[in-house]
Chains A and B, each alone.
Chain A
Amino acid sequence: MFNLIWKDILIQKKTLAYMGLYIILFGITFQNITADPFPAIAVAVTYQMIAAACSHEDKSGADILWNSMPVSREKLVLSKYLSMFVYTLLASLGYMAFAAVIHLTRLPIKASPITATGMMGSIVAIALMNSLYLPVYFRLGFMKARVASFFLFFALFFGVTFGVNVLSEEIHSAQGNTALRAIASALQSASDLQISLLLLGLAFVFLLASFCLSVKFYRNREF
């Protein structure tokens, strides 16, 4: 398994460099749009890396290689899901480095540190997004999935940023939606731990369902 995940990193050495630029670019452009740019960055970077990995697989036709070897299709699918977390980790490290540099050099750029909510939000968004993308990729292959994911990406990307902001306002302002505020107060009385667990549970359920679907699709693929 490790070799498959390592492979996903190795094949996109170039992408890693671009991601560095991504983080800087997004970090700078997003500083006034939202208080916490990290989730959007994390989602964007992770998605880009997943797409780049899938694109390289497609370009090389490596599916044929792996499926001629004693690696089960389940394992190949699982590795892509696990790699996703590795990308998020890399995105986080990259962002932390970016923020650290900003603070050290005292550049006039707002680079808020990663918050727990931010990280939660990122993971949930990433899980949701890839729960949708990966089954499409495993079923249709990279080229066709690209079209579908184009719309997926924008929808989720703006959806997340917008949604987080809207939710924030709705919950914190006095004129906000009562139902949401009710949920919000319920959640507020719930401990942070409980909320985290709830969100993670949701993300996990999504991923699990997506994984099962991906395995089913990939098992039936012909090359």
Chain B
Amino acid sequence: MENILEIRNLKKTFGDFTLDNISFSLPKGFITGFIGPNGSGKTTTIKLIMNLLKKDSGEIRIFGLDPVRQAKEIKNRIGFVYDESHFYEELTVEEMKRIIAPVYDQWDEQQFQSYAAKFDLPGNKKTKDLSRGMKVKFSLAIALSHHADLLIMDEPTAGLDPVVRSEILDILYVLMQDENKGVFFSTHITSDLDRIADYVVMIYNGKILFCTQKDALMENHAIIKGKASLLDTVRSSDLKGIRKSNYGFEAMSTAKETTEAFAKAGAVIDPPTLEDIMLYYTRKESSRV
């Protein structure tokens, strides 16, 4: 299984934030979710991948190539959808497309038109008059109209209503029919990834917490709720984000054995969502007794 993207010991410091020697890989043919609370370094990582920021040290390989030396070849094969669309306000959708299309070697006008029709993109509207959902769809249409092999999305669904979010996910499901393509989906709205993601990478405070298959992640984690006394009697080393209150404790188990032990001891076990995982890994432990 080839890796579309490889990051090794990537480091970047600016101001008081440091991306601290992060490493992870993105396999071809799958969707990898990149999750973490705001300010964890998701956008910084993506900017480093796109060469918008310069790394302090470490290695980035995209399609096995060097993003600094072979930037043009790589960027021809990358489609991107960012949080902000960065279009020129006064230009219309059609005008924007006309100045962007010539940049890509493999621009496929037919493909763009079919997405434009599917999304109902208004060719004559100025980009400043587009709703946020429309802007994202426009960005997506462009990203998917030049035979890109890697789709990088940075918070594409933030601020969108559920209908539009679902439309975007549908596009991704169709895209994944091609086993040569990969998607890197960075978001803090993890519900979008719960079903579609094949792999999940979590970043927090500039560090990678884990990089695993989503199914394995979900199977190994569980939300445990039980009597506070259980914390003393059952092995609790694999628990994260423990919160105690007058009604008991709740925590996330990160190992199957721990979950089973607590289940046997009578605790309530719930399956986690990615959001739960993100929450329990990042919130501080506390007791409100």
A and B directly contacting (CB within 8 A): yes
| Range of interface residues on B (Cβ < 8 Å) | 20 to 34
Query: Which residue in B50, B88, B103 is a CB contact (below 8 Å) of A62?
Result: B88
Interface string of A211-223 (1 = CB under 8 A from B): 0000000001011
A3 to B82, CA, bound (A): 22
Contact A70 B86 (CB under 8 A): no
Query: Which residue in B72, B91, B100 is a CB contact (below 8 Å) of A72?
Result: B72
Chain A residues near B98 (CB-CB < 8 A)? 3
Confirm or deny: B89 has a beta carbon within 8 angstroms of a beta carbon on chain A: yes
Chain B residues near A13 (CB-CB < 8 A)? 90
Confirm or deny: A106 has a beta carbon within 8 angstroms of a beta carbon on chain B: no
Which one of B51-59, B163-171, B242-250 is at the interface? B51-59
Contact A56 B84 (CB under 8 A): no
CB distance from A64 to the nearest CB of B (A): 5
CB distance from A71 to the nearest CB of B (A): 5
Query: Which residue in B52, B73, B75, B76 is a CB contact (below 8 Å) of A64?
Result: B52
Confirm or deny: B63 has a beta carbon within 8 angstroms of a beta carbon on chain A: no
Q: Do A68 and B80 contact each other (CB < 8 Å), given the known contacts A4-B99, A60-B86?
A: yes
Q: Do A72 and B88 contact each other (CB < 8 Å), given the known contacts A3-B98, A3-B103, A64-B82?
A: no
Chain A residues near B89 (CB-CB < 8 A)? 56, 59-60
Interface string of A37-66 (1 = CB under 8 A from B): 000000000000000000010011110110
A72 to B74, CA, bound (A): 12
Confirm or deny: B104 has a beta carbon within 8 angstroms of a beta carbon on chain A: yes
Chain A residues near B95 (CB-CB < 8 A)? 10
A84 to B105, CA, bound (A): 27
CB within 8 Å: A-B pair count = 72
| Range of interface residues on A (Cβ < 8 Å) | 20 to 34
Confirm or deny: B15 has a beta carbon within 8 angstroms of a beta carbon on chain A: no
Chain A residues near B87 (CB-CB < 8 A)? 60, 62, 65
Which residue of B is nearest A67, CB measured? B52
Query: Which residue in B50, B88, B99 is a CB contact (below 8 Å) of A67?
Result: B50
Q: Do A7 and B99 contact each other (CB < 8 Å), given the known contacts A62-B86, A64-B82, A70-B72?
A: yes
CB distance from B102 to the nearest CB of A (A): 5
Interface of chain A, main secondary structure: helix
A127 to B104, CA, bound (A): 32
Which residue of B is nearest A5, CB measured? B99
Find the residue from B71, B87, B88, B100 having the highest chain A CB count within 10 A. Answer: B88
Which residue of A is nearest B74, CB measured? A70
CB distance from B19 to the nearest CB of A (A): 13
CB distance from B13 to the nearest CB of A (A): 12
Confirm or deny: B47 has a beta carbon within 8 angstroms of a beta carbon on chain A: yes
Contact A61 B76 (CB under 8 A): no
Interface string of A92-117 (1 = CB under 8 A from B): 00000000000000000000000000
Contact B72 A222 (CB under 8 A): no
Q: Do A70 and B104 contact each other (CB < 8 Å), given the known contacts A6-B99, A222-B52?
A: yes
CB distance from A86 to the nearest CB of B (A): 15
A223 to B44, CA, bound (A): 10
Contact B86 A72 (CB under 8 A): no
Query: Which residue in A10, A60, A68 is a CB contact (below 8 Å) of B99?
Result: A10
Chain A residues near B71 (CB-CB < 8 A)? 70, 72
CB distance from B60 to the nearest CB of A (A): 15
Chain A residues near B76 (CB-CB < 8 A)? 70
A93 to B287, CA, bound (A): 76
CB distance from A51 to the nearest CB of B (A): 16
List residues of B whose CB falls within 8 A of some A CB.
47, 50-54, 71-76, 78, 80, 82, 84, 86-91, 95, 98-105
11 contacts between A and B (CB under 8 A): A3-B98, A3-B100, A4-B99, A6-B99, A10-B88, A60-B86, A60-B87, A70-B74, A70-B76, A71-B103, A220-B54
